[in-house]
Amino acid sequence: MLIDRVLSAQKGDSIEMLTLVEQFAGLFRKYGRKLGYEDAENDLQADFIELVMCHNFSTLHNTTDGSIVNYIARFNYRRKLQYQIEHFR
């Protein structure tokens, strides 16, 4: 399950973190292209890693794969909006 990979990555398993980053690479590319600046994809990946490392996913009420994917997708969408505001003022 995805929650197991996230919790393993939080404990310092770099292989699991790399697997998670690769799993969501399409989302980073999509929003990176929409942002249109050079390091957008890298910024989104860094924010994703920070989310995985800092958020307590065990407190979520629903820890199914679909719920976690939805949570991460919404997080990335919100970060994209924040970057748009920062870079296009």
Q: What tokens were used for 38? A: 């050079």
Contact 48, 24 (CB under 8 A): yes
Does position 89 have pLDDT exceeding 70, yes or no?
no
Task: Give the structural domain span for 81.
Answer: 2-87
Number of domains into which the chain is organized: 1
Higher pLDDT pick, 88 / 4:
4
Q: What pLDDT is stored for residue 54 in this prediction?
A: 92
Contact 2, 62 (CB under 8 A): no
In the chain the first and final C-alpha atoms are separated, in Å, by: 41
List, for residues 15-45, the tens digit of each pLDDT value: 999 999 999 999 999 999 988 888 989 999 9
The percentage of the chain sitting over the pLDDT mark of 70, rounded to a whole number, equals 98
69 Cβ contact list (under 8 Å, min separation 6): 2
